[in-house]
Amino acid sequence: QVQLVQSGAEVKEPGSSVKVSCKSSGSIFSNYAITWVRQAPGQGLEWMGGIIPLFGTAIYAEKFQDRVTITADESTRTAYMELSRLKFEDTAFYYCARAGREYQLLSWSDPWGQGTLVAVSS
Amino acid sequence: DIVMTQSPDSLAVSLGERATINCKSSQSVLYSSDNKNYLAWYQQKPGQPPKLLIYWASTRESGVPDRFSGSGSGTDFTLTISSLQAEDVAVYHCHQYYSTPGTFGGGTKVEIK
């Protein structure tokens, strides 16, 4: 059974960067996309982008294109999401999730990581 | 981007009664080459990540109780809880994975009346 375990909560100042990790266990890592979705407090889910580790090229939502970098390390079965030039409105839970279909970025997501709270505060 | 609109924003249903949640996409998510609707439903309880319930609009994920069902095609979809249980109190999200960026509905909060 696949499990995704994310890094811990972060408090960051505006203008800085944050890097969240997502470690996978239990099944094939490289063939399944890892996507990143964020959820501001009391709000809906927002797709940020994703990567298929085997292919190594990330796809981003246009809204985050110039600020987010998603990478994956096959040797450690870990995916990363780095968000730069943080703003107060980036305060949110950030989730990683595995695609349900092999070799496809466009897929339902299952399972999800436990979420990482990133708080942007001065 | 495909816009997903859920209704209602919240609903209160008596235990054992039916709950119906609607999701409408701004363009069709039915892929003609495989005749599949690229639509999923998730359940999210407070303090937890979303949990997959339904994919391909109507395929129930393994282990999900059969009181949960998905229906619809093209642009209009429905998640039905046939007999609401106390443990079903949650927010429900629809999600299209037809095109990037994958987009989600705003969520529907289900409570006990």
SS3 A29: coil
Any chain B CB within 8 A of the CB of A53?
Answer: no
Smallest Cβ–Cβ distance between B101 and the set A61, A113, A114 belongs to: A61
CA distance A76 to A89: 31
pLDDT tens, residue by residue, B2-18: 999 999 999 999 999 99
Per-residue pLDDT of chain A (122 residues; tens, 9 = 90+): 899 999 999 999 999 999 999 999 987 899 999 999 999 999 999 999 999 999 999 999 999 999 999 999 999 999 999 999 999 999 999 999 999 999 999 999 999 999 999 999 99
Q: Does B99 sit within 8 Å of A106, measured CB to CB?
A: yes
pLDDT digits (tens, 9 = 90+) for A61-85: 999 999 999 999 999 999 999 999 9
Cβ distance of A106 and B40 shorter than 8 Å: no
Q: Rounded to whole angstroms, how far apart are CA atoms B111 and A45? A: 20
Cβ of residue B5 closer than 8 Å to a chain A Cβ: no
Shortest CA gap B82–chain A (Å): 23
